[in-house]
Chain A
Amino acid sequence: MELLQYDFVQRGLLAGVLIALSSSLVGVFLILRRLAFLGAGLSHFAFGGVALAVLLGVEPFLFSGILTLGVANLIELLRRKRRIGGDVSLAIVFSGGVALAVVLLSLSEGFREDVFSYLFGNVLIVSPYELYLSTGVFLITCAFLLLNFKSLLLMSFNEEMAKVRGIKVMVLNHLFVSLASLVIIVSIKAVGIILASSFAVIPAAAGIAVAKSLRGSLILSALISVLSTVSGILISLHFDLAPGGSIVMVMIAAFTLVVVFKRLI
């Protein structure tokens, strides 16, 4: 536990907890709106954005964040206009981002290591700037969900009923996917592009499977996410393992335990 005295560990734990809370809360609504794959699609698209940013010499998080935000809204627009199925557009975005990254990587060997560091992430090397970003996204997430909880609940239940009640469904949908893309971008730092979506999906799936209400699902999801993240980071420090992988393995273990426990009672 001596390691807890180090600044980088404290910063990593704090960032991890903030990202875990944001991701798990947004994740519940992502799953209920059948957008569980959105996280994977957007994070892989961000891979292309990061590669392009590194090649251009601009700040990768901000650059890929703006690109990802735009693509998330484009996906929502296509879904709303029913021009193309949500799963199809996500599959295109997913493979498009990876393809762009692969092409850019083949152009130059010099920046490969920079780009690869985003693939697996490391919550223990977050900078103070990235901690501020995580805090900002956490505060935005809390404010958005608190202000729009009833509307989001109704929209996840039936969009037509929500529209008839005068809820601005289109605007809220775009704001929600924008928030989801911000959450995905900051979670890339903790677990990397490949595992970013697991932060949003696994704890939320456990909460939804067990709780008797939506509020219960949100609380349980947040609890599982925070406990898994802290445990995962501590395990990774103790056994000198990659923190991203350790966190996700603990999340999967927690999900399995919760679901099995629910079946037994």
Chain B
Amino acid sequence: MKTSRFSHRHRYTLLAAALLLAPAGAGAQPAAPAEGPMLAQPAVLGMIGLLLVIVLGALVLLVGRVAALVRGTQPPSHENVDGRFDETVTNLTAAQLEAILARRQAQEFAPDRTALGGTQGPRDPQGLVQRVAIDVHAPWFHEKRRTIPFSDLDPQLTTLVAGFLLCAAFWLVLGTSVGWYAGVKFVSPDVDHLAALSFGRLRPVHTNMVFWGWSSLAMLGLGHFVVPRTNNAPLFSRRWGWWSLGLINASVLLGSLCLLNGVNNGGGEYREYIWPVMLLFGVGVALASANFYQTIARRTTEEFYISNWYILAATIWGVVLTVIGYLPWYQNGMGETVIQGYYMHMGVGMWFMTFTLGLMYYFLPMSLNKPIYSYSLGVLAFWTQLLFYTMIGTHHFIFSPLPWWLQTVAIVFSAGMVIPVLAGTINFLMTFRGNRKRVGDSYSLPFLLMGVLFYFTGSFQGSLQALRYTNLVWHFTDFNVAHSHITMYGIISFMLWGCIYTMAPKLRGREPRQVLVGVHFWFALVGLLAYVVALMIGGTLKGQSWMAGEPFIKSVVLMAPFWLWRAIGGTFMLLAHFVFFYNLVDMLLLGKPAAAAVVTPSKSQAHEILESV
């Protein structure tokens, strides 16, 4: 790596090498000369470090899995300590040998998987069956802990929540199919020539469908469960809940049809639905907001739990920012651009991120069966989220003709985002502390853990990208597409999946097939990593090509392999969504709920039991 001049190819290998070898290289080359201007940039180094966080996180999970697998398949080793063993064996009489073999057979007895099956629940006063963790006959798959169903659910609320989640999952599958197809068009632009399926129309269909259809409905569905539960009061109005669901579904359906037919509001990202369509969405969120507010007002606890702050605030902010984004009076000339920067960033930060964090404060403690590490850190994160996040929208328009002070404020507060992000990350990770085994034993916690790691990574990445230098290289490139997938997919979707897998089995007492949850997790994670790593490297090379003044078409040509990798990663992500959809249908619709087993759980589940009654 002693290149003094950076040719194009060298830059690529250097970058790849740095991504792979950064931790080792730091020690091995104490006196390494400055490796060109790009890698010497602190922000770039920070970005590589952030990428390592998720890659290492995924590796730790993977290594743990493989290690458990190896342990499970290897026969226990019996060391022949001093040779006496052989001697004893050869001197055994036939009768002794027979007795030993019979004993061994008895010891090796294990019931087959169906031995304890039947129509009745097991009589298991010690809770032994519940605690079996490894199936010796299928060591490839870690047997996860069963979920204890709630016994006191209002079946009509369950139906409402299930309605939200199933619609959300439907939009996820459809929306990411559209996204996948749009990604394929980068590799094969002439795959079809239909007006409705052209890239320019499909892109907003994809983004809006996964925003308003998948993420928003999934959050609201979980919110309709969490708010009544944490306030110890019934949901104020189920009818409002159904209206909310119906209106948002109608909005996504109509909006998508408009876009497919070439009716686009103005091309501003996430504002592509025309106002009559977005109005339906806004009213849907407003109804949910009022519903939550009224439920909180009828709580039987003195304080309302921190999840409710995030959830209630997110719905209020969601309505406010939709109204601000769509009112016309200040949107001529560059006014539109001020609002666009504000709107597209607040949509992510004040609606999706805030709501999902609120869900985390409920579902993470629930799946770990322990309280959140620090309530105060949650309070700090909440108010700094409001103060800092609101100010940073203009960082999407650095070096644009917007007022320079507005750009500077956005950059400064982007750096300030360190505070809520660190507070949240520390809070979640400290809640995880000491529960490593529990993560392996659960099918929902791996999603939540990766969600937290992505939260840290994606948010810091955003702060780093806002700096003026990094903007030079990465703005307008595919790097931004990678960033938006780390955040909306790595953070929001992974957290939502974790919450759904925590809650859905409790609704009807029906577990998903654990192998399929595993497939969902690994396909989504591996697919996403392939996706974002490819686009981050490609985006960097593209930015450098532009800075070097090369002909534009070169930057298109150099992206070809990275776009291919994106399509491959996207394929895995899409497959994961089909599996998720099946899992959800399985948990909520298929079969009858398992007969309420007579379960006497262990003491360590006391909190869960209390929750479920």
- Verify that A and B bind, or say they do not: no
